[in-house]
Amino acid sequence: MDNHINKAEPNKWVERYSELMYQYVLPRVNDNDIAQELIQETFLSALKAINGYRGIASEKNWLFSILKNKIIDYYRKKALQRGIVTMPDLQEYDNEWFDTGGQWVEEKAPKNWQVPENIIERKEIQRIINWCKDHLKNLQQQVFTLRYMEELDSDEICKVLSITPSNYWVLIHRARLQMRSCVEKKMV
């Protein structure tokens, strides 16, 4: 066996990776019990597939790729329970943000944000962003999480959540506007 190939060490997974996995999954599902359940499912799936682990990717990367799939499966199951959702037209909603010419309403126009260099200030901004995300409507939060945290494209998100492309664009548009508004209010 080549020296560059990694071997899986399942007896060390919990010690090595459970806290990192928890920090990764919790902001994506916003529920402690679900986060822990997904980590357990990841370890079980990895144990079942351990004979297929060739060691080309690091053990950590292999486990995290399984965890990412578990997160996507979690959202897929939620979508199946919810059924297909149709969304209203954006025009009425957008009247709050845009004038009839499609320009920003003056008090809703984006503000200039300064990215802080101080690590403590950056952590505070991340805390604010997470708080705002957690307060989006459930389906908007799912779309936002899959798009910006799991980096899925719109087609994949539509499949996972069983929504139409037009529903996706309505949801992501609203989530973006609400996130921007929330973060700006919290950063005052």
What tens digit of pLDDT does each residue of 94-151 get?
456 555 555 656 666 556 666 667 777 778 888 888 899 988 988 899 999 999 888 8
Above pLDDT 70, what percent of the chain? 78
Residue at token pair 């908007």 = 140
CATH number of 10-82: 1.10.1740
Domain range 90-186, CATH class: mainly alpha
Please give the pLDDT value at position 70.
Answer: 93
Read off the tokens for 179: 């996130």
CB 144 within 8 A of CB 179: yes
Q: Which residue, 23, 50, 58, is CA-closest to 39?
A: 23
Give residue limits of the domains in the chain: 10-82, 90-186
- Cα–Cα dist 98/107, whole Å: 10
What lies within 8 Å, CB to CB, of 188 at 6+ separation is none
